[in-house]
Amino acid sequence: MAGHLGWGVLNEEGWRKGPWTGEEDRLLIEYVRLHGEGRWNSVARLAGLKRNGKSCRLRWVNYLRPDLKRGQITPHEETIILELHARWGNRWSTIARSLPGRTDNEIKNYWRTHFKKKTKMSPETSNKSRTHHLKRQQFQEQQQQIQQQQLLQLNQLDMKKIMSLLDENYQVKLPFSPQIWPETTTLLCPNEDQHELLYTNGSVPDDHEACNDEQDSLWDGLWNLDDVHGNYGVPATCASGKATIHNLVAPFC
DNA sequence: AAAGATCGCAACCGCCACGGA
DNA sequence: TTCCGTGGCGGTTGCGATCTT
């Protein structure tokens, strides 16, 4: 960034642009501590920062706020993002309000890098991306799986009961017939990857066949979707399927 | 080992809504 | 009622890091 023309230097109005330095961060934090959030255009005058108000607000909101959560988006948060995006569309700030510690910018970036581009990808490219993504998340998922296994052990008896109910219900209610998928359906196909998403545009993705043919692994995948709050289900706009599963497991959550 | 491709994300931009003068 | 300052929002950019060939 520093090499970009005008990046990291003063612009024609005298404001600094580009990456924030540690000293600038310190000044901004001190300003907020003394004056609170707001009045961002006063920061330059009161804190001695050569940054405009917008830049200061953005830096504080997206990076310096003490209540921000660090680290990768968890599968549970991912589920929430998908569900809320299906409901609200690109209203990132609205979505962010349901994810304490996450910013609209963070959610927006996450969506764009993990989901949106998949709609345009070829299957081959998508597989590469999937591999890349999985490698990056491998460590985190290992930790989460340990936690999940502990929960699974605790609830093993109840789960077997749920599994049998779901298996019966699956045949009747889940809308896996491609004819009734709406365009741009976001469908979870958990048998291959516990939270891999497939996007369809009125057609059936190749991978989808595995969902129909391998119910056992499909349901295994659903259990892997378990999170610390004990929700099991399909975070998809495939609405009737989602409702069926959530209604079924709700009494056990 | 090196070059090119791709990804992730911090930061910027432009537009809009709102409130106060 | 109008104007202006301020803040919020969504879209976009561009660089460093990482991966692939």
What are A105-157's pLDDT values in tens digits?
A: 899 888 888 776 554 444 434 444 444 444 444 433 443 443 344 333 433 43
Q: Give the pLDDT confidence score for residue A188 in this predicted structure.
A: 33
A21 CA, B17 C1': Å apart: 32
Strand residue runs (E) in A107-234 = 183-188, 197-201
> What number of residues does chain A have?
253
Q: Give the pLDDT confidence score for residue A11 in this predicted structure.
A: 66
- Placement of tokens 């699956």 in the chain: A170
Q: Give the pLDDT confidence score for residue A172 in this predicted structure.
A: 25
- A154-197 per-position pLDDT tens digit: 334 333 433 333 333 333 222 222 222 332 233 333 333 333 33
User: Which residues contact residue A83 at a Cβ distance below 8 angstroms, ignoring those fewer than 6 apart?
Assistant: A235
A176 CA, B15 C1': Å apart: 42
Q: Give the pLDDT confidence score for residue A9 in this predicted structure.
A: 57
User: Which residues contact residue A63 at a Cβ distance below 8 angstroms, ignoring those fewer than 6 apart?
Assistant: A20, A25
Nearest nucleotide to A11, CA against C1' atoms: B12
Q: What is the mean pLDDT of chain A?
A: 55
Mean pLDDT (whole number) for A78-92: 86
A91 CA, C11 C1': Å apart: 12
**Nucleotides in C strand less than 7 A from protein CB:** 5-12, 14-16, 19-21
A113 CA, B10 C1': Å apart: 14
Q: Are the beta carbons of A215 and A170 closer than 8 angstroms?
A: yes
- Closest protein residue to B9 (Cα–C1'): A109
Nearest nucleotide to A88, CA against C1' atoms: C10
Q: Give the pLDDT confidence score for residue A74 in this predicted structure.
A: 85
A112 CA, C12 C1': Å apart: 12
Residue A212: name the closest of A202, A204, A223, A201 by CA: A204
Residue A78: name the closest of A252, A225, A245 by CA: A225
User: Which residues contact residue A149 at a Cβ distance below 8 angstroms, ignoring those fewer than 6 apart?
Assistant: none
- A224-242 per-position pLDDT tens digit: 332 222 222 233 322 222 2
Query: Is the overall model pTM greater than 0.85, yes or no?
Result: no
In eight-state DSSP terms, residue A228 is T
Q: Are the beta carbons of A32 and A60 closer than 8 angstroms?
A: yes
Nearest nucleotide to A109, CA against C1' atoms: B9
Q: Are the beta carbons of A82 and A99 closer than 8 angstroms?
A: no
- A19-38 per-position pLDDT tens digit: 888 888 888 888 888 888 87
